[in-house]
Amino acid sequence: MICAEVGRCRNSREDAEGVWKRMTDTVTREFNEREKAVFERHLAMERPPREPKGPWLGCLIMSIAAGGLAYFFRGTGAGAVLLVFCLAGLVIVALLSMENVRWRKERLNVALRLIEALEENRVEAARFRASEVVVEIDEYATKVYYFAIGEGRILRVEIGSEQWPAEDPGDGHALYVEPGQDTWPNDRFEIVRTVKGGLWVGVFCLGEKLDPVRQINTIEEAPLVSGPGSPVALFAGSLEKPGEKPIGQWV
């Protein structure tokens, strides 16, 4: 859902969408080929891989063997130690199996959300044109970009630590630049998310590379603004002094 505020957050979805669209060039359309390729890569990386059976089977066999030896040496100290070893191995196998089932279920749920959004084939695309940009880097290498987009508006875009994340690459809840792009930050770009589920598709460059006028390391300097809770937000003001609260954001 889009949330936009002018002084305060509107409760009505219709008002929120209307305010955001008045402040930005936002359209609803089908996936284009670049966006579809990115989203299909999201989906491919979210499908749980086939799991190797060797380690699980080896641990189980060792536990069973220890149980057999414990029975053979029952009533002795060695038998007691082997019995403990057997039980511990079985508990470890059970816990790892439960965790694996939980992890695979989560990945499958994410994949299903991506498939539903892809099948609906509808996205919201917000297009921006920028004249200047300031880059902010935190201790986790997450980058925040502040673009001057005209009419006293500053666009804040929070990007993950990699253009394509090594972990959780495609769940749609983080914003990343289209893989392979070497012209980011850019003077013209689109930010795209799905209509179904509101999943981020990515940032897509359309113009020329824009060199930052300033770079801020938040370990040494204070950030320009506090995080608004959304990767994409609009502020009033200038790059030297943006407003404290967003006037519009996607949440």
pLDDT (tens digit, 9 = 90+) per residue, 82-121?
Answer: 666 667 766 776 677 777 677 667 777 777 888 888 899 9
| Whole-angstrom distance, CA of residue 234 vs CA of residue 237 | 10
244 CB contacts (<8 Å, ≥6 apart)? 225, 226
Q: Which of 146, 131, 132 is nearest to 223 (CA)?
A: 146
State the residue for tokens 């059976």. Answer: 53
| Residue 77 pLDDT > 80 | no
pLDDT higher than threshold 70 for residue 244: yes
Closest CA to 144 of 132, 152, 136, 134: 136
Asked if residue 170 lies in contact with residue 45, where contact means CB atoms within 8 angstroms, the answer is yes
CA triple 127-117-179, angle to 5 deg: 55
Gap between the Cα atoms of 150 and 132, Å rounded = 10
Residue 138 and residue 158 in contact, taking contact as beta carbons nearer than 8 Å: no
Structure tokens at 50: 């086939």
The predicted pLDDT at position 203 comes to 93
Residue 184 token pair: 């980011």
Give 155-194 pLDDT, tens digit per residue: 999 887 544 443 344 444 578 888 888 899 999 999 998 9
pLDDT at 5: 43
pLDDT category, 69, cuts 50, 70, 90?
A: low
pTM score of the predicted model = 0.71
Q: Comparing C-alpha atoms, which of 135, 126, 129, 136 is closest to residue 211?
A: 135
Contact 174, 191 (CB under 8 A): no
Q: What is the CA radius of gyration of the chain?
A: 25
